[in-house]
């Protein structure tokens, strides 16, 4: 099969590693941040722009595509890569997170989950087998197993039951999956209970997946608790498989995650805050739609090489946001994505150069 992972270099002082993921649609240099294209589009961007920004792999959401336009339609279009004109690697999540956060009237049984669509209230029933079928229809390079996601905080008993069910569903996903040009990743759950994380990691690794997601974090718990859970989980995952921390994408958490041995990240944060007029800078976030930037003729972030910073001023972008112009959302989105993608480029370079720990010290 056309999927493999290789660790190229390790940082001595942290668990960080520099890796390379081979997929049917090309190579991904890790650690990597994956922009999120929920509905088969990374909001406000075109695929050629993502390439220019240095995106290597994007994530798309099975739940959303299942509801609209339907995974069968995407298959008929030749798969997600062709449908959205993104020829590089794609990862699809399993819909688990969305079923447990967006849908209503959820009823969970051992067989699967029934729920009502957040769009039109229509009834649906998803099982691990059905999710595998949907993800095979979408045809991403990496398909995540169907898991049960919990909010924070949650009682131990509930967390244990969900973790155990997730492990049983992972086995069913593994058994049901057919496409040889697609890798399935299992997902470690266990909420914020170290004991459950240990057990979840052991049970998921037993199933021998080509990669592992760490789910159920960044759902409201303090960041320190998330880092602690990573420290409990990562040592139990095999060295030769990629580790994917799901739903994490703030600059500080990316760095903390890499230092704890994470290879892959995704998050809607950069694109979502961009559409609210908030942009990353090396001096922290600024709300560029604020009146204070009305006559600020400097770029969003001095030294940034994104299209927004190369061509436009804060004053112009503020004007666009203030007047509800689409280009404003486009420019803040391009900037925030480039900010994170460039940060990951720097991290990879420091890992190659053996200077990662020094790079971290100034930042975390």
Q: What are the residues binding its own copies (CB under 8 A)? A: 39-41, 43-48, 64, 68-69, 73, 76-77, 83-85, 294-295, 297, 307, 311-313, 315-316, 319-320, 322-323, 325-327, 329-330
CB of 251 to its own copies, least distance (A): 24
CB of 348 to its own copies, least distance (A): 29
Which of 84/337 has CB closer to its own copies?
A: 84
Look up 11 and say whether it is catalytic.
no
Which position among 11, 93, 141, 263 bears the catalytic label?
Answer: 93
Task: Please report how the helices 128-138 and 156-176 are oriented relative to each other, as an axis angle in degrees rounded to 10.
Answer: 50
Which position among 11, 147, 263, 266 bears the catalytic label?
Answer: 266
* Contact criterion met (CB below 8 Å) for 204 and 212: yes
Which of 198/322 has CB closer to its own copies?
A: 322
Which of 37/242 has CB closer to its own copies?
A: 37
Angle, CA of 148, 234 and 352, to the nearest 5°: 125
What is the radius of gyration, based on Cα positions, of the chain?
20
CB of 118 to its own copies, least distance (A): 13
Exposed, middle or buried, 1 (CB in 10 Å: 0-12/13-18/19+)? Answer: exposed
CB of 99 to its own copies, least distance (A): 18
CB of 287 to its own copies, least distance (A): 17
CB of 90 to its own copies, least distance (A): 15
Which of 40/170 has CB closer to its own copies?
A: 40
Which of 209/312 has CB closer to its own copies?
A: 312
φ/ψ (deg, to 5) at 123: -90, 140
Cα separation, 201 vs 178, in Å, equals 24
Which of 298/349 has CB closer to its own copies?
A: 298
Look up 266 and say whether it is catalytic.
yes
Q: Which residues are designated catalytic?
A: 93, 266
């Amino acid at each position: 099969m056309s999927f493999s992972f290789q660790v190229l270099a390790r940082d001595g002082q942290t668990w960080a590693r520099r890796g390379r993921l081979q997929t049917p649609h090309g190579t991904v240099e890790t650690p990597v941040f994956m922009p999120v294209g929920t509905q088969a589009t990374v909001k406000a961007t075109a695929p050629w722009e993502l390439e220019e920004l240095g995106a290597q792999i994007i994530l798309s959401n099975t739940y959303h595509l299942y509801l609209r336009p339907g995974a069968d339609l995407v298959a008929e279009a030749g798969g997600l890569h062709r449908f959205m004109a993104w020829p590089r690697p794609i990862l699809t999540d399993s819909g688990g997170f969305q079923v447990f956060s967006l849908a209503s009237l959820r009823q969970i049984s051992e067989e699967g989950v029934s729920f009502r669509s957040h769009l039109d209230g229509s009834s649906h029933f998803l099982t691990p087998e059905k999710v595998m079928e949907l993800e095979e229809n979408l045809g991403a390079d990496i398909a995540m197993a169907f898991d049960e996601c919990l909010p924070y905080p949650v009682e131990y008993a509930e967390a244990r039951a969900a973790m155990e069910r997730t492990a049983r569903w992972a086995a069913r996903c593994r058994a049901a999956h057919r496409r040889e040009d697609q890798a399935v990743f299992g997902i470690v759950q266990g909420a914020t209970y170290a004991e459950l994380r240990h057990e979840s990691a052991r049970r998921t690794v037993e199933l021998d997946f080509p990669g592992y997601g760490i789910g159920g974090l960044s759902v409201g718990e303090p960041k320190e608790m998330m880092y602690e859970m990573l420290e409990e989980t990562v040592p139990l995952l095999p060295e030769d498989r990629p580790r994917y921390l799901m739903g994490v994408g703030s600059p500080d958490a990316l760095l903390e995650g890499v230092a704890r041995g994470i290879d892959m990240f995704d998050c809607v944060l950069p694109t979502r805050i961009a559409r609210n007029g908030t942009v990353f800078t090396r001096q922290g976030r600024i709300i560029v739609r604020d009146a204070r930037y009305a006559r600020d003729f400097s770029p969003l972030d001095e030294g940034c090489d994104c299209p927004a910073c190369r061509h436009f001023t804060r004053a112009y972008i503020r004007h666009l946001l203030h007047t509800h112009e689409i280009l404003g959302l486009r420019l803040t989105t391009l900037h925030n994505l480039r900010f994170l993608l460039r940060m990951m480029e720097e991290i990879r370079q420091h890992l190659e150069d053996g200077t990662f720990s020094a790079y971290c010290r100034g930042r975390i």
